[in-house]
Chain A
Amino acid sequence: MTTTPLRRIAMLAGAVVRTLIRQRLPIVVALVALAVWAAVQVPRLFHFGQTRTAFAIDLGCAVISVLAGGLAVVVPAHAFLSELDMGTPWLLVAKGVRRVEIIWGHLVGHSLIFAGLSIVTVGTLWLALLPGQMENRGDLGMEHDLKVMAFVAMAGAYWLKWTVLAGISLAVASFSRSLIVAIGQGLGLAVLCHVHGLMDVVRGHWSGEWRAGVLAGVQRICPDFRPLDFSDLLASGAVPTLPTVTSALAVGLAYTLAMGGFASVVFACRAAD
């Protein structure tokens, strides 16, 4: 093997991106963006009054979270299991490419795709909200510039969140032999990652019971996505502060490294087909 591991990971990531683009993933991304745009139009059509911008942001973020979050679980699992089905990873392993490089190649490739997904979806949300903001404020002043930064921060948070979800999805796909099982488990874990707040409340009600212990264990295992959620902040008209953004970045990168490492270990233990 004459190339370096990092270069091989970059090549594998490039191959993942190329394959996904040729499998017409951009059309699916465009459909998600269309759904975001349509969601923002609902408060306008039904005249929800002065709070409509906040409501539209909430609705748009919900559509992005559900649809794009779903894609972040389904796409990596499908891509990885398709490759396993074709035997491509085993061909690469036989040539000396390490399994950890294959996993990280996939993770980086999907992360690049999700960077595009977050730019398109959050950009669509911004563009769909823009006329409403102009109506409300009359001009585009300093507050508007700060909002742009807030949207950029939110796009970054979504990107990190989806990259972590891709890591979870790859970890599940690494030991799974069925696409349906992999997607089901991935979506289940994605839901658990999003309900830490709810789990805290439920755990309080079960205080002292064995169920509270189980829930605490689940919370420890599943990534906590609350530091990566900027939608409430954005809907309230506030702007994320530097410590908030830094903390989100640190949490996102730490979870990405953890999930990528976990997926690598799981794939290293898998017997070749």
Chain B
Amino acid sequence: MELREVAHRYPAGLGSSAHPAVQGVSFALHQPAILGVVGSNGSGKSTTLKLLVGLYRPTSGTVRLWGLPSGHREVQPRIGYLSENPRFPESWSGREWLGFHAQLTVVKPDERARRVEETLAWAGIAAVADRRIRTYSRGMLQRLGIAVACVHRPDLLVLDEPTSGLDSTGVTEILSRLRALQREGTTVVVALHQASEIERFCDRVVCLRGGRLIGDGAPADLLDLSRRRSLLVERLETSDLDSLRTWLRQRGAHLVSVESQVSAFPPVTSGDALFVDREDRCA
């Protein structure tokens, strides 16, 4: 995978000018690994992922996968993609929808049925597979989306916020399963928000801000965890958060991120984890 000086502008519409979403982004990945794409809202993460899977064409620069331009007919079947906030036809069951995608991409009917069952179990939705999708919770929809992206065993898996809507157990479960896929040779590119997930899960991180690449390296280096402290706070309210920000500012530090779902962390005492840094870091 290689992105070279990639830029993408959303075209001008009526009453709006062209909006540059990504500018001069370059990075390459030559071995199967888990690559995290991180950055705040509007930093260009989703646009970068769509450029990778060939849904967007770069305004300038090149995106190449296995030596071919993204969107090439031979490249696309090797990609699995999960969009942000996936939605599916509500009148179908999860098994039918997954079966439909397997049918489009897997040729042998006997293999198809086995693959669907395996993927349903892998994604943890086998028990609800025959229910109509309209009855699914947000987390189940997310798991189904990941299953649809994985059902044809792609070589490159591109997931836009796969842990969104999942509980802490679900996050750990899905991330460990994606790690297992990577060990089998799949490259996983994933947009994540939570600093703890990036730290635990990614082999490498590219960090975007305002559509520009501002960092590329190992999570520990990029997130500068040595200079970062986590505070555990019990029952954190919004008003408490404001007080905490003031308290930190008085001491020359500031709040980088707030993470709930404490059960994802080893039990220390109690409360939510707050990552604090003296400088404005990308996380």
Q: Which residues of A contact B (CB under 8 A)?
A: 1-3, 8, 11, 15, 18-19, 22-23, 83, 85-88, 90-98, 271-272
Contact A87 B103 (CB under 8 A): no
Q: Does B77 have its Cβ within 8 Å of any Cβ on chain A?
A: yes
Contact A3 B89 (CB under 8 A): no
Contact B152 A11 (CB under 8 A): no
Q: Does B179 have its Cβ within 8 Å of any Cβ on chain A?
A: no
Q: Apart from A3-B103, A19-B91, A95-B152, what are 18 other A-B pairs with CB-CB below 8 Å?
A: A1-B73, A1-B76, A3-B105, A11-B100, A22-B91, A85-B87, A88-B88, A88-B89, A92-B104, A93-B55, A93-B76, A94-B79, A95-B80, A96-B73, A96-B105, A98-B73, A271-B10, A271-B11
Contact A95 B104 (CB under 8 A): yes
Contact A91 B81 (CB under 8 A): yes
* Distance in Å: Cβ of B166 to nearest Cβ of chain A: 19
Contacts A2-B106, A15-B100, A90-B83 known; A23 to B55 CB distance under 8 Å?
no
A86, A93, A94, A271 pick with most chain B CB within 10 angstroms:
A94
Q: Does B147 have its Cβ within 8 Å of any Cβ on chain A?
A: no
Contacts A91-B148, A94-B54 known; A19 to B89 CB distance under 8 Å?
yes
Of A2, A23, A95, the residue contacting B76 (CB under 8 A) is A95
User: 26 A-B residue contacts at CB 8 Å?
Assistant: A1-B76, A2-B77, A2-B106, A3-B105, A3-B107, A11-B103, A19-B89, A19-B91, A23-B91, A83-B89, A86-B89, A87-B87, A90-B83, A91-B86, A91-B148, A94-B76, A94-B158, A95-B101, A96-B73, A96-B76, A96-B79, A96-B105, A98-B73, A271-B10, A271-B56, A272-B56
Bound CA span A22–B88, Å: 14
Which chain B residue lies CB-closest to A177? B13
B152 partner residues in chain A, CB cutoff 8 A: 95
B105 partner residues in chain A, CB cutoff 8 A: 1-3, 95-96
Bound CA span A8–B80, Å: 18
* Distance in Å: Cβ of A133 to nearest Cβ of chain B: 41
Interface residues of B in 66-121 (CB under 8 A from A): 73, 76-77, 79-81, 83, 86-89, 91-92, 100-101, 103-107
Q: Report how many residues on chain B are interfacial, defined by Cβ distance under 8 Å.
A: 30
Contact B91 A95 (CB under 8 A): no
Bound CA span A131–B127, Å: 55
Contact A2 B107 (CB under 8 A): yes
Contacts A2-B106, A95-B77 known; A19 to B101 CB distance under 8 Å?
no
Bound CA span A271–B104, Å: 23
Contact B103 A94 (CB under 8 A): no
B256-283 interface code vs A (CB 8 A; 1 in, 0 out):
0000000000000000000000000000
Bound CA span A97–B2, Å: 23
Contact B56 A87 (CB under 8 A): no
Bound CA span A92–B80, Å: 10
Which chain B residue lies CB-closest to A101? B104
Contact A91 B83 (CB under 8 A): yes
Contact B55 A86 (CB under 8 A): no
* Distance in Å: Cβ of B27 to nearest Cβ of chain A: 20
Which chain A residue lies CB-closest to B49? A94
* Distance in Å: Cβ of B144 to nearest Cβ of chain A: 12
Q: Does B50 have its Cβ within 8 Å of any Cβ on chain A?
A: yes
* Distance in Å: Cβ of A88 to nearest Cβ of chain B: 7
* Distance in Å: Cβ of B89 to nearest Cβ of chain A: 5
Of A19, A91, A98, the residue contacting B92 (CB under 8 A) is A19
Which chain A residue lies CB-closest to B82? A91
Bound CA span A97–B83, Å: 16
Bound CA span A94–B91, Å: 23
Bound CA span A93–B73, Å: 10
A90 partner residues in chain B, CB cutoff 8 A: 55, 83
